[in-house]
Structure 1
Amino acid sequence: MTGTESPDSAVPDTAVPDRKKVRAFARQLFGMYTQGALTYMVDLGHRLGLFTAAAQGPATSPELAARVGLDERYVREWLGAMVTAEIMTYDGSAYTLPPEHAAALTGGGSKNMGPMAAMVTLLGRNLDGVEEAFRSGGGVPYEKFAPHFTGVMDELNRRPLDELLIDAWLPLVPDLTERLTAGVRVADVGCGTGHALALLGAAFPASTFVGYDLSSDAVERARAESDALENVTFEVADASSLKPERPFDVVFAIDAVHDQADPAAVLRGVHDALAPGGSFIMIDMAASSDLAENVGNPFAPWIYSISTLHCMTVSLASGGAGLGAAWGESLARQMLGEAGFGDVVAHPAPGQGLNLIYVTRRP
């Protein structure tokens, strides 16, 4: 320190880190990498039916391989990962999937988290493109994720919609079930494979339903599923230029607004497409617009990560706003107000901790 410097102005010495903290963080990092690798193992187990086969009861490696018609050597190595990760148990001869673990990895209900692993596998395929976007701007276009993204999202959303849409989510909107029963015009923007409308169309035959999505392969699948429903139709269309011949009474947007190129235009378009007094139900990520408030939210690392790897980059690829999945409740309310909507009520989505259900109306 020179004679002109004071002790208060000296830069603190941060060159020597705390060794215990370094070791602890290194273990944390290795744990993250291990869990990442195990996610691929879970995805394989789900794809190949190994969890479903294991849930039938204890089995040796050859027995489990025979149940699903797979190569025993691969099954044995996969079982090694499952046992050491404490997903399955091994008594020296037979492998067992505990019933509590089977409940979270098998079955057709929303509690089956096996399909979620496929999202990690899929997003990793475009990591090089995201890296380049970090360096040069822009993003990775949706086409780079297709057609696999369509199938992954369909499997992730189908189970919760089956269990929750009609019985748990619709009752959050006053009089909505009664209006659908009586007969109203309904749209779903960013409808994906259209499973929500297939359920609604079958449950409420007096109402008519139109689904809009940019993805032609998603719309093709939607039309195939709802082929027998005369009150459900689909169009390949940009939600930001929504101009129906007649106004809608109800519009849904299920996990669709935050990755749009122009989400503000989508919200304005939905507002203008609604009849006065019409309802808008927007289901989106449960997050705060303030990063500091997301610290401690167990879903936040997932939300920010999938946003970087898909939602935000897809929007930026087309010169869009890059709103991102973590746009949060405060910004969502602000944008809904700017689009012309009235009071907004945000409900935690029953059965889906990742989501909020925003309910508002065109005045």
Structure 2
Amino acid sequence: MTDTDAAPVDRKKVRAFARHLFGVYTHGALSYMIDIGHRTGLFTAASEGPATSSELAARAGCDERYVREWLGAMVTAEIMTFSADDDRYALPPEHAAALTGGGSKNMGPMAAMVTLMGRNLDGVERAFREGGGVPYPAFAPEFTGVMDELNRRPLDELLVDAWLPLVPGFAEALTSGIRVADVGCGTGHALALLAAAFPASTFVGYDLSEDALRAARAETAELDNVTFEVADAAAFSPASPFDAVVAIDAVHDQADPAGMLRSIHDALVPGGRFVMVDMAAHSGVADNVGNPFAPWIYAISTLHCMTVSLAAGGAGLGAAWGQETARAMLADAGFGDVETHPAPGQALNLIYVTSRPG
């Protein structure tokens, strides 16, 4: 094909896309600025009221020169405002609601995921060229803390009061006393909440990360109805079956997700419940077009979820495995009918509810 045969290029579309692309890069850089604001407490300090750069730096215990430059990014990105009359910067209360506080609305911790994923970009590039992946230990130990902070607030606010009621009879059974496992439990915060709320039940958490389980045991030291064990999610074999199993954002990045689902099925009593929280996506990319969360899901999957699975010689299922594949895999593992519910307060997630046939 010669240059004269090529389709004409619409210069306006080129310029528009270039502006869009520059916006993507800008937002990427701003993610680091948000992470710094969260780490240093600058957003919390700013939520106390308008301040000059010196006053804000003093509140947060930071160097004024760095704070002043950071504030320039915050103002021009329309995250904060600036009054030239008195040289004061302000964080609007609506913005503070999304960047501060202990509730599930605080998105500040999410920026740390961008920072952490970028650290292993060289390894991901190598995997693109050679295959394989970046192993989970390459993200340690920071990944444990990042995931704990991302999940802790939503779990505190939503797990018992908003998510459990979606599973008919589950709260009542927990009140009466049942055996429950959390497979891929991480730092065990979900079990800490459940064990405290339902003292008649007993709970066991399984995870491969020793760092995460140390944190789990420390948090639950005063609870006598929860224990933790190091185990491969695809091969754990409890001495006694469980009445219920939960898996929160844990299936899609396993080396053997199908084996994990089979192990969970086999670990349940007949009629036992399985509650899985995972990404709200479809399995085909065409069905995800228009989903505002899809670019995040695919990107994080490429940079972590898929690559850690492939590094272990695994399936590389990825975070965007989607509900169609999830339903098929649950059926293949032997589970019965599956219900799905949007996770209240967590638009990124779906809650799957199924059981081992009785």
TM-score, normalised via structure 2 length: 0.98
Query: Given the alignment of the two structures, is residue 91 of structure 1 paired with residue 80 of structure 2, yes or no?
Result: no
Match of 1:59 among 48, 51, 56: 51
User: Which residue pairs with 1:37 in the alignment?
Assistant: 29
Match of 2:202 among 197, 208, 223: 208
Q: CA deviation at 1:174?
A: 0.9
Q: CA deviation at 1:168?
A: 0.7
User: Which residue pairs with 1:7 in the alignment?
Assistant: none
Q: CA deviation at 1:11?
A: 11
User: CA offsets, 1:45-86, max 9 Å, x none?
Assistant: 000000000000110011110111111000000000001111
2:336 alignment partner, SS class:
coil
Aligned mates of 1:321, 1:309 — CA distance in 2: 15
11 and 70 in structure 1: CA distance in 2 versus 1, 3 angstrom threshold: closer
Matches within 5 A, 1:105-144: 105-144=99-138
2:234 alignment partner, SS class:
helix
Aligned mates of 1:13, 1:69 — CA distance in 2: 63
12 and 179 in structure 1: CA distance in 2 versus 1, 3 angstrom threshold: farther
Q: CA deviation at 1:273?
A: 0.2
**How large is the Cα RMSD of the aligned pairs?**
1.3
User: CA offsets, 1:131-174, max 9 Å, x none?
Assistant: 00000000000000000000000000000000110011111111
Aligned mates of 1:123, 1:25 — CA distance in 2: 25
Match of 1:149 among 134, 143, 147: 143
User: CA offsets, 1:311-332, max 9 Å, x none?
Assistant: 0000000000000000000000
Aligned mates of 1:117, 1:14 — CA distance in 2: 42
Q: Which amino acid aligns with 1:47?
A: R
Q: Which moved more, 1:10-19 or 1:274-283?
A: 10-19
Query: Given the alignment of the two structures, is residue 263 of structure 1 paired with residue 261 of structure 2, yes or no?
Result: no
Aligned mates of 2:307, 2:9 — CA distance in 1: 35
User: Which residue pairs with 1:69 in the alignment?
Assistant: 61
Aligned mates of 2:15, 2:222 — CA distance in 1: 61
Query: Given the alignment of the two structures, is residue 349 of structure 1 paired with residue 347 of structure 2, yes or no?
Result: no
User: Which residue pairs with 2:320 in the alignment?
Assistant: 326
Query: Given the alignment of the two structures, is residue 167 of structure 1 paired with residue 161 of structure 2, yes or no?
Result: yes
User: CA offsets, 1:245-299, max 9 Å, x none?
Assistant: 0000000000000000000000000000000000000000000011100000000
Q: Which amino acid aligns with 2:52?
A: T
Aligned mates of 2:220, 2:62 — CA distance in 1: 35
User: Which residue pairs with 2:274 in the alignment?
Assistant: 280
Structure 1 unaligned blocks of 5 or more: 2-9
Query: Given the alignment of the two structures, is residue 359 of structure 1 paired with residue 353 of structure 2, yes or no?
Result: yes
Q: CA deviation at 1:14?
A: 3.4
Aligned mates of 1:337, 1:184 — CA distance in 2: 25
1:169 alignment partner, SS class:
helix
Aligned residues: 355
2:275 alignment partner, SS class:
strand
User: Which residue pairs with 1:46 in the alignment?
Assistant: 38
Structure 2 unaligned blocks of 5 or more: none
2:26 alignment partner, SS class:
helix
Q: Which amino acid aligns with 2:337?
A: D
Q: Which amino acid aligns with 1:233?
A: T
User: CA offsets, 1:171-207, max 9 Å, x none?
Assistant: 1111000000000000000000000000000000000
Aligned mates of 2:95, 2:235 — CA distance in 1: 45
User: Which residue pairs with 1:4 in the alignment?
Assistant: none
User: Which residue pairs with 2:12 in the alignment?
Assistant: 20
Q: Percent identity?
A: 78
1:241 alignment partner, SS class:
coil
1:211 alignment partner, SS class:
strand
Aligned mates of 1:77, 1:250 — CA distance in 2: 52
2:133 alignment partner, SS class:
coil
Aligned mates of 2:250, 2:151 — CA distance in 1: 12
User: Which residue pairs with 1:6 in the alignment?
Assistant: none
TM-score, normalised via structure 1 length: 0.96
Superposed structure 1 runs of 4+ greater than 2 Å apart:
10-16
Q: Work out which of the two has the higher radius of gyration on C-alpha atoms and give 1 or 2.
A: 1
Q: Which amino acid aligns with 2:77?
A: A
Q: Which amino acid aligns with 1:59?
A: A
Aligned mates of 2:66, 2:237 — CA distance in 1: 53
Q: CA deviation at 1:12?
A: 9.6
Q: Which amino acid aligns with 1:291?
A: V
Aligned mates of 1:177, 1:349 — CA distance in 2: 17
Q: CA deviation at 1:13?
A: 3.8
User: Which residue pairs with 2:173 in the alignment?
Assistant: 179
Match of 1:244 among 233, 238, 249: 238
Q: Which amino acid aligns with 1:356?
A: L
